[in-house]
Amino acid sequence: MWGLRRWGLTALGLRGVGIGWRRELAHFIDRWQGLGFVEVLAEHLSPTGPLPEPLVRLRERGVPVVLHAVSLGLGSAEPPEPRRLDGLARLSERLGAVCVSEHLAFVRAGGLESGHLLPVQRSEEALEVLTENIRLAEAALPVPLALENVASLFEWPDAAFHEADLLRGVLAHTQASLLLDVANLHAQVLNHGTDADAVLAAVPRERLAYVHVAGGIQRGGLYHDTHAHPLPEGPLALLERLAARLGPVPVMLERDDRFPPEAELAAELTWMEQALERGIARHAEAKHARAHPHTEPSTTPGGARNPAPPATRDGAHPHAEPTTKLGGARSTEPHATRDGAHPHTEPTTKLSGATLGREFIPEDRERHS
């Protein structure tokens, strides 16, 4: 079985499974030999100061780096500030970043900072301002720009079109690619009834940069995309559905707080890989069926049919036992708890093994004994 790091070539040449680089995770990431790519928060680095040594080592290993920003405010009425664009341009060149990614959101108005990524009003006027700001950013950056859909706790009234139409409009009027956050999409489905299928259908493979997956929690009647809780079922099901539509896609895990033990982090990455594998299998079967409409569905290399698992009432596919053993032992599939989160279970594939091409160098036992 080849590793997922070989899969998923899209708009920017990224592939495989990656992770958001955080100082708290640097040791874990440093030992991940099958790492597909890392995403680095621009606001955590100085445009002119020294880069963290672990990031320098990743660059020397040839690991692709994405520079991720949260403060441009492309959806604001004002154009993006030149000093912020200049800082991103400097950092992207120093990191050798394949792209800069930002959010389809606004974060300030009239000199006041919101402190949150606020949704863009879905109107023709707002779309015109948004796309003009995006074009200004594209012209100022030395690398391509990727744009991320956001999760919101409210929506502006009197929307002229749906979220899928917003994404189509942005892609039609700019050269940017799309960073699809399926965790944010999951939040939008739960909080606002967003049509997930319409959003997934709005993503052309040639304009997809990469995919975000993250955990969250249901609280106060709303789903919060926290990046600090275990992965729930919903984002994994959406990842599977996306891969079933497009085939292999590059995907990464975001974790910003409440960093779990390494074994639990490895388990979440395994769940992502398994969701990808199921989606890719469905994509291959659908492609085979279109090419050979009068033949039996394609089979696995071992000769056994490998159909997609049956859909549940909400359209998500339950985590069935995988047909592929990981690292010589059958992996444990997650089970959702009442709040939709997977309990932190000990994965059967340890950090010293390999999981679909993701290998970890074992630590010095004495250091942590």
335-368: pLDDT as tens digits = 444 344 444 444 433 333 333 333 443 344 333 3
Give the model's pLDDT for residue 296. Answer: 62
Amino acid symbol at 251:
V
E strand segments, the chain? 17-21, 38-41, 65-68, 99-103, 105-109, 112-119, 145-148, 177-181, 208-214, 217-219, 222-224, 251-254, 354-355, 358-359
- What is the spatial distance between Cα 319 and Cα 341, in angstroms, rounded to a whole number? 13
E strand segments, 35-111? 38-41, 65-68, 99-103, 105-109
Give the model's pLDDT for residue 354. Answer: 35
What's this model's pTM, rounded to 2 decimal places?
A: 0.80
User: Is 252 within 8 Å of 39 (Cβ atoms)?
Assistant: yes
Task: Give, as one character, the DSSP assignment of residue 206.
Answer: G
- DSSP states of 124-175 as a string? HHHHHHHHHHHHHHHHH-SS-EEEE----S---SS-SS-HHHHHHHHHHHSS
CATH level 2 (architecture), domain 4-285: Alpha-Beta Barrel (3.20)
The overall average pLDDT reported for the chain is: 83
pLDDT tens by residue, 186-210: 999 999 999 999 999 999 999 999 9
Give the model's pLDDT for residue 299. Answer: 53
* pLDDT tens for the chain, residues 1 to 369: 223 444 455 678 899 999 999 999 999 999 998 899 999 999 999 999 999 999 999 999 999 999 999 999 999 999 999 999 999 999 999 999 999 999 999 888 777 777 779 999 999 999 999 999 999 999 999 999 999 999 999 999 999 999 999 999 999 999 999 999 999 999 999 999 999 999 999 999 999 999 999 999 999 999 999 999 999 999 999 999 999 999 999 999 999 999 999 999 999 999 999 999 999 999 999 999 999 987 665 555 444 444 444 444 344 444 443 333 333 333 334 444 434 444 444 443 333 333 333 344 334 433 333
Give the model's pLDDT for residue 67. Answer: 99
For 342, the enclosing helix (H) or strand (E) is none
- What is the spatial distance between Cα 90 and Cα 97, in angstroms, rounded to a whole number? 10
Give the model's pLDDT for residue 112. Answer: 72
User: Is 260 within 8 Å of 219 (Cβ atoms)?
Assistant: no
Domain positions in the chain: 4-285
* Tokens (6 digits) for 60: 């020397």
Give the model's pLDDT for residue 134. Answer: 98
